[in-house]
Amino acid sequence: MSAADADYIIVGAGSAGCVLADRLTADGRSKVLLLEAGPTDATPLVSMPKGFGKLLADPKRVHYIPTAPDGDIPGETWIRGKMLGGSSSVNGMMYFRGHPEDYEEWVSLGATGWGWDVMSRAFTATERQLRPTVCGDHGELGDRLIAAAGELGVPHVDNLNHEAQFGVGYAPRTIRNGRRVSAAEAFLKPARRRANLQVETGVSVDRVTFEGKRATGVLGRRDGAPASFAAKREVIICTGGLFSPQLLQRSGIGPASDLSALGIQVVHDAPGVGSNLLEHRLQMMHYRLNRPISVNPQLRGLGLMQSAIRYALRRTGALAAGSYDVGAFFKSDPSQDRPDCELLMAPYGYLVQPDGTTKIPEYPSFHMFGYPLRSRSKGTIRLASADPDVPAIIKPNYLSDPYDRTVTVAMFRFIRRLAATSPLADVVAEELSPGLRIESDADIINLYRTSGQAGYHACGTVAMGGEDAPLDPELRVRGVSGLRVVDGSVMPTMLSANTNGPIMAVGWRAAELILRGRN
C-alpha cells in the first residue's frame, strides 16, 4: 500500500493506536497508515517483563517529558513509551478495568454511548487477544499482606476486576507465558500481515493539515527530513494524554489567545484542549524485613545472573514477573459506596541513588504505594512555542482539590496500619521511607506534594462530553471535520484503575464508532 492511498492516518502506535489499526483493517475495506515516532519493539527487553527497568533508561525508546515547578511542587520528568506499543511496551503490566460507575459518570457528563454496558463489552473483546493473567508468584510476603488486609476489613478476592472492585489479591497483568503482551504484540502483530495496513516508524508528526475546517493529513519529520501524509477519510490522533493536546494546539485547535500569542493560526478556538489534566499522585513506602522473604537477592549480583539464566531457559522466576505482585482496592472511609484508593506491593525494595539511578538493597525489603483512584485536581498543558521540539508547559497542580487531600491522608494512614497488622507486621522490621517522622496531616500532604511522584496515568486533556468539551461522544474534534482523538486524553474523569487496559478498550470502542459511520 502506498502512503498516498490511506483512508485513515493513525498518529501514534500506542495502546489505542494498535487496537485501532487492527480493528480498522480487519475487514479489508479501509487502508490505514499508522505513524509512530519511535522505532519498532524488536528488543528482548520488551518481551521480558522485568526488562522495563532498562527500557525506561533508553532515550531511543522512551520520551522524557519535563513538568514545570509549581509552588512547592518541584519539576519532574514523566516517561512515556516511544516505540511500537507505546507505553504498553514499557509499563508495569498491571491490568485493571476500573469501576463500572466510572463509565456511568462519563455518560452523566455528556459522553453518551460510553456506559458500562458498552465498555464491559469492549473489555471482553480486547481481552480475547490480550488474555491477561493473574500473578502466579504467590510468595509468603504477598500472602501475609493479603491476610493483614483481611484483618482490616478488605476481603481477599481471586479477581480484582470483579465489578464491585473492593478487595485485595494477586494482580492481573498483561503477561503470558513469561512474556509481556503489549498492545503491539496483541493487536498490531497480527494486523501487520494485512496488505491494507502500512506502519511507518521514526516519523514525528508536528501538525495536522487542513483545507478550511477539514483535516486532510499531517506534516512531520522522518529522520529529520520533512514528511507529509494525506488521509482520504480521517486523521486519528492517538499520541496520549500529554502529546495529543500539544499536537492539536500546534495545529491551531486550542485556546485562541494562547495560540495567537505564539503565532499559530487559529483553526478553531477550543479552550478545553490542554485543560483538565488529571493524574494519580503516589508515594513509595519502603520497608526493611526481619527475614529473607523478599526477592532482592534475585535482582542483584550473582542472583541476577542466575535469574537471567532461569528466564532464558524457562521464562520463569523474578525476571518473568510484572512490576507488582499484589493489588488492593479499598475505601478510605468505610461509608464510601465503592473503593477510592488503590495499593500495589512489590516483593523487592530499591534505593534511589544521587544520580537518579536505582539500586537493590543487600538486606531483605519490599515496597508498596497507594494513590486516590479518582483524582480531582486539574492541571494544564500549554505550548511554550510553536516549535515542536520545545517542551510544553505542564503543570499537574497536584492535591489542589480538597477531596484529593482528604483521601490521600486517610489512604496513607491505612497503609501504615496495614504494615502494623499481623501477619504482615510480624516480618516488618522498620519503615525505611518515608519514615515515622511523617506523622501529621500537614506532613503527609507536604510529603506527597514535594517528594511524591506521578502514576504515569495522565489523562483528560482532550475530553469528550457535552457541548463545551473538545470532543463529541464519538471522539470527533468539535469545530472541524475529519479529525478524532483516541487515547487517554479523551477521558472526562480519572478512572479507578491503571489506565493501560481502559485505553485499549477506548480504542476498541472508537473503532466501532468509526466503522459504524463509514460509508
Assign 3-class secondary structure to 227-241: EEEECCCEEEECCHH
pLDDT at 4 over 80: no
Residue 427 bridge partners (DSSP): none
Distance of CA 303 to the CA centre of its chain: 31
Question: Which pLDDT band, with edges at 50, 70 and 90, does 252 fall under?
Answer: very high
Largest CA distance in the chain: 69
**pLDDT score for 227:** 96
> Which residue stretches of 396-460 are H helix?
402-419, 441-451
> Residue 254 has which C-alpha cell?
486550542
Question: Which pLDDT band, with edges at 50, 70 and 90, does 71 fall under?
Answer: confident
Please count the CA atoms within 13 angstroms of the CA of 350 that sit on its side-chain side: 15
* C-alpha pair distances (Å), 323 with each of 346, 348, 434, 509: 7, 10, 20, 28
Helix (H, G, I), strand (E, B) or coil at 263: coil
Mean pLDDT over 411-437 rounds to 97
Structure confidence by residue, pLDDT tens digits, 152-168: 999 999 999 999 999 99
Please count the CA atoms within 13 angstroms of the CA of 396 that sit on its side-chain side: 28
Mean pLDDT over 402-409 rounds to 98
Structure confidence by residue, pLDDT tens digits, 343-397: 999 999 998 888 777 899 999 999 999 999 999 999 999 999 999 999 999 999 9
pLDDT over 70 for what percent of the chain? 99
**pLDDT score for 136:** 85
Residues 6+ positions from 22 with CB-CB distance below 8 Å: 129, 187, 188, 190, 191
Domain range 3-517, CATH class: alpha beta
Question: Which pLDDT band, with edges at 50, 70 and 90, does 230 fall under?
Answer: very high
Give dist(CA 46, CA 435) in Å, integer. 35
**pLDDT score for 188:** 98
Active site residues: 457
- What HEC string does 446-495 produce? HHHHHHCEECCCCECCCCECCCCCCECCCCEECCCECEEECCHHHCCCCC
Give dist(CA 65, CA 58) in Å, integer. 14
Mean pLDDT over 387-410 rounds to 97
- The CB density around residue 302, as the number of other CB atoms within 10 Å, is 9
Structure confidence by residue, pLDDT tens digits, 437-450: 999 999 999 999 99
Q: Nearest CA to 240 among 450, 490, 512? A: 490
Residues 6+ positions from 272 with CB-CB distance below 8 Å: 462, 463, 468, 469, 470
Give dist(CA 132, CA 162) in Å, integer. 14
**pLDDT score for 3:** 65
Structure confidence by residue, pLDDT tens digits, 269-285: 999 999 999 999 999 99
Helix (H, G, I), strand (E, B) or coil at 176: strand
**pLDDT score for 1:** 62
Question: Which pLDDT band, with edges at 50, 70 and 90, does 70 fall under?
Answer: confident
Whose grid coordinates read 504482615?
A: 424
Contact 298, 304 (CB under 8 A): yes
Sign of CA dihedral 101, 408, 403, 67: negative
Structure confidence by residue, pLDDT tens digits, 129-153: 999 999 888 999 999 999 999 999 9
pLDDT at 312 over 80: yes
**pLDDT score for 354:** 82
pTM (2 d.p.)? 0.97
Q: Where along the chain do its domains lie? A: 3-517
**pLDDT score for 2:** 61
Contact 388, 204 (CB under 8 A): yes
Q: Nearest CA to 466 among 276, 295, 294, 314? A: 276
